[in-house]
Amino acid sequence: MSSSQPSFDAFVAARGSALLRHAYVLTGDRHLAEDLVQEVLTHLYRRWDKVAATTSPEAYVKTSVTRQFLSWRRRRSYAERPTDAVPEPRAAQGDSSDTSAGDDAVWRQLATLPHRQRAILALRFYDDQSDAQIAEILGISASAVRAHASRGITTLREQLAGTDVSGAMS
């Protein structure tokens, strides 16, 4: 490993929080996000020299996190159960309660989307990836990315149209 390539420990120290945020956007659950990132980092640790040699180790790891998230849907042990109650409310950050309640409604609805749609929306709006970049990450065509994104956004709009700011159904 050359001096310009980050060591595994340095990478995790510098970018670990960003990876957890990315995984949280995908899973909607802090504990699942931690498990997801830990599983991916454990796997990549063994071949860190190859990962560090890429043009963007962070993009490589985020791609791995996204692909692992999508593969979890096939596992029996991964049993996501959307609920009406948010288990861990956010700490007050000076936001108005209306904004926080609206955000919670969006998170609840996002959790109901199929995994691929949720991953595509997260990559597009959270990570600001283009359709071509998302297609490459997921191994699908750019037109499939657009179709999944369109369906996901339409579903969210329909669900949120029937939800007031406090999250209660109208």
Q: What is the pLDDT of residues 22-44, one digit of tens each?
A: 999 998 889 999 999 999 999 99
Asked if residue 72 and residue 28 are part of one domain, the reply reads yes
Q: Residue 163 gets which letter from DSSP? A: B
Q: Which of 4-8, 58-62, 74-78 has the highest mean pLDDT?
A: 58-62
Contact at 8 Å (CB) between 145 and 135?
A: yes
Shared domain check, 72 and 10: yes
Which tokens go with 36? 């997801």
**Where does a domain end: 77, 106, 129?**
77
Helices (H), the chain: 8-27, 30-45, 48-52, 57-72, 97-110, 115-121, 131-138, 142-161
Domain count for the chain: 2
> What is the extent of the structural domain holding 156?
96-170
Q: What is the pLDDT of residue 109?
A: 82
Q: What is the percent of the chain with per-residue pLDDT over 70, rounded to a whole number?
A: 74
- Residue 38 located in a structural domain: yes
Is residue 92 scored above 50 in pLDDT?
A: no
Same domain, 136 and 67: no
Both 21 and 72 in one domain: the answer is yes
3-state secondary structure of 169: strand
DSSP character at residue 125: I
**Which pLDDT score is estimated for 74?**
56
pTM of the model: 0.66
Mean pLDDT, range 137-142, rounded to an integer: 91
How far apart are alpha carbons 123 and 24 in whole angstroms? Answer: 12
Do residues 4 and 60 both lie within one domain?
yes
Instruction: State the Cα angle at 140 between 137 and 141, rounded to 5°.
Output: 115
Q: How confident is the model at residue 158 (pLDDT cuts 50, 70, 90)?
A: confident
- Does 109 reside within a domain? yes
Give the C-alpha separation, 100 to 93, whole Å. Answer: 10
CA–CA–CA angle 18, 138, 78 (5° rounding): 70
> Residue 167: pLDDT band by 50, 70, 90 thresholds?
very low
Task: Identify whether 10 is part of a domain.
Answer: yes
Give the integer Cα–Cα distance in Å for 42 and 30.
Answer: 18
- Residue identified by tokens 């929306």 is 121
Q: Does pLDDT of 87 surpass 60?
A: no
Q: How far apart, in whole angstroms, are the C-alpha atoms of residue 7 and residue 15?
A: 12
What CA–CA distance (Å, rounded) separates 33 from 25? 8
Digit-coded pLDDT (tens) for 94-122: 444 455 555 677 777 888 899 899 999 98
**Residue 91 included in any domain:** no
Residues 148-154 have a mean pLDDT of 93
Q: Given a cut of 50, is residue 90 above it in pLDDT?
A: no
